[in-house]
Amino acid sequence: MVKVLGEKVYAMEEPGFFRVRETLRGSGYLPLPIEIAADGISIEKLMQSEANVVYVTPSHQFPMGYVYPVGKRMQLLEWAGRNNGFIIEDDYDSEFRYRGRPIPALKGLDTHDSVIYLGTFSKAFTPSLRMGFMVLPKGLLNIYQEKWRHYKSTVPLMSQMAMSDFMSKGHWERHLNRMRVRYRKKQEVLISCLQSELGETVSVIGEQSGLHVVISVNLPVSENWLLEKAKQHGVLVFGLSVHISEKLKHLLKILLGYGGLGEREIVQGIQLLKKAWIESGKGD
């Protein structure tokens, strides 16, 4: 994708997915960090920057979990149209929205043909399939077909054909409906358990959709202390510091994924976090 776009100035959400940031750095680009709020990326800061390409995760901002409202999405599209820019829309788990009405993807609202749409089957189906997709604007598609058609997909053709058949017969939609109900229930168990076990020690962020939530931890400890204590009690959680620039390192937030866990495991995990973070003694 970077090769198709050519020489550009990239921006991305702050905090934002560190693998994207490091991939851009490895390709010779230093993405500009643009602050986000609960309604998404700051359009004002984006307009003040020199960026002409921005990477965003509007359906479930990673890692914070915010959902961009329609108004913010339209502002982003207007920015792209005015600046002859491109928006990279990573729609990695938009299939799982639990609250509010569905919001159209940026690609579906795009009238400037400026959105590069990325999707994956890893979240909604299975990671082992290793299958994703990219929808390019017509202008970039022509460049790709002219210069980069010799690039081959690493996904076996048989797997692609099987997924196509699975979708065309309606199995995909039925699968999503089943999984949406299942994941909503898991999230309800997670949030209820967080409230009952950890109470005011934590506050939950980004529970509108997706397969993870973020918690703010109200304790006078470090991220490393929280991660190490959780690990000692057999619980794997993730800090947000890897996704955040130095000026925001003071924000003490932890990411909790629940997609691959059963409801009983979720309850046990939160109970263990209570022992690790509260009952074991802070700062020891």
Residues 100 and 204 in one domain: no
Neighbours of 3 (CB within 10 A): 11
Give the pLDDT confidence of 118-168 residue by residue, as tens digits.
Answer: 999 988 888 888 899 999 999 999 999 988 888 888 889 999 999 999 999
Are 31 and 24 contacting, i.e. CB atoms less than 8 angstroms apart?
A: yes
The predicted pLDDT at position 129 comes to: 84
**Joined tokens for residue 5:** 């776009």
Q: What is the pTM of this model?
A: 0.90
The total number of structural domains in the chain stands at 2
Residues 192 and 162 in one domain: no
Residues 20 and 100 in one domain: yes
Residues 55 and 149 in one domain: yes
65 in a domain, yes or no? yes
248 in a domain, yes or no? yes
237 in a domain, yes or no? yes
Q: Where among 168, 195, 214 does a domain terminate?
A: 168
The predicted pLDDT at position 283 comes to: 47
Residues 135 and 215 in one domain: no
Domain extent at residue 41: 2-168
Residues 245 and 148 in one domain: no
| N- to C-terminal Cα separation, the chain | 48
Beta carbons within 8 Å of 8's beta carbon, 6+ residues apart: 29, 52, 53, 86
Residue with tokens 């993807």: 105
The predicted pLDDT at position 239 comes to: 92
3-state secondary structure of 227: helix
284 in a domain, yes or no? no
Question: Cα Rg for the chain, rounded, in angstroms?
Answer: 20
Residues 183 and 118 in one domain: no
**Joined tokens for residue 252:** 């003490």
Residue ranges of the chain with pLDDT lower than 70? 245-251, 281-284
Buried b (16+ CB within 10 A) or exposed e, 28-53: ebebbbbebeeebbbbebbeebebbb
Domain harbouring 207, CATH code? 3.90.1150.10
